[in-house]
């Protein structure tokens, strides 16, 4: 499973990448706004830091302008993936950009019929938003399972990118449900390796080792 980090903060991307766990980055207009940086500059910096796919979202709402924006964003670096919203215009732009050889991430997916349309529009990625569905009392993970079944039924190659991740449980459940990629906010990514029993066990091993007076290297 690939791990993307869901942020436009250079310092976070740089620190997390050094763990070797970051395969790509996703951004959106809200994350770019939070970074306080110029969109082109920050995307170029992220693309230089991370060799994997970096999603950059269009902000136009009609297909022609989305396509123009997508082509502009794609010129920033060769690892840019253009993100378009799951609207009819977004799907039209997706098909056109994909025909140009540009990778597209169709975002803001909330049901499996939408995901089916994205696959038919030749999306490279579909981004179902788990956390936002859970917030409404729906089961976001069920959506990942349904999309997995549908894509497998028809051998669609569109990759399922679990998004709107709020907890380590979302990450492991997405893996169990067959998501290809999970995009994780930095704070959640850091929490993935943490367990109180790991800390407790390590403290006890080290205390016993101290008593031996031995060294290893």
Q: Which is nearer to ligand E4P, 83 or 122 (CB)?
A: 83
Binding range to ligand E4P, per CB under 6 A, among 69-77, 86-94, 125-133, 202-210? 125-133
Asked if residue 114 binds ligand E4P (CB under 6 A), the reply is no
Among 107, 112, 158, 174, binds ligand E4P (CB under 6 A): 107
Min separation Cβ 18 and ligand E4P, Å: 22
Among 131, 168, 178, 186, binds ligand E4P (CB under 6 A): 131
Rounded Cα–Cα distance for residues 66 and 92 (Å): 9
Binding range to ligand E4P, per CB under 6 A, among 73-81, 89-97, 129-137, 208-216? 129-137
Asked if residue 183 binds ligand E4P (CB under 6 A), the reply is yes
Number of residues lying near ligand E4P (CB under 6 A): 11
Is 83 known to be catalytic?
yes
Min separation Cβ 170 and ligand E4P, Å: 10
- Other CB atoms closer than 10 Å to residue 145's CB: what's the count? 17
């Amino acid at each position: 499973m690939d791990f993307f980090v869901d942020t436009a903060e250079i310092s976070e991307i740089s620190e997390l990448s050094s763990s070797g766990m970051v395969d790509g980055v996703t951004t959106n207009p809200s994350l770019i706004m939070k970074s306080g940086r110029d969109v082109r500059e920050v995307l170029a910096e992220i693309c230089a830091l991370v060799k994997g796919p970096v999603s950059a979202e269009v902000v136009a709402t009609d297909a022609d302008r989305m396509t123009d924006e997508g082509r502009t964003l794609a010129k920033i670096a060769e690892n840019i993936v253009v993100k378009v919203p799951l609207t009819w215009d977004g799907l039209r732009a997706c098909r056109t950009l994909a025909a140009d050889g540009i990778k597209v991430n169709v975002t803001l997916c909330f049901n499996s019929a939408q995901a089916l349309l994205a696959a038919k529009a030749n999306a490279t990625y579909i981004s179902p938003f788990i956390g936002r569905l859970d917030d409404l009392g729906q089961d976001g993970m069920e959506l990942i399972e349904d999309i997995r079944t549908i894509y497998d039924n028809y051998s669609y190659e569109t990759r399922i990118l679990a998004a709107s991740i709020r907890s380590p449980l979302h990450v492991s459940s997405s893996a169990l449900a067959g998501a290809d990629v999970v995009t994780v906010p930095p704070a959640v990514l850091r929490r993935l390796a943490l367990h109180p029993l790991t800390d407790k066990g390590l403290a006890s091993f080290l205390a016993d080792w101290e008593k031996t007076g031995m060294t290893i290297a």
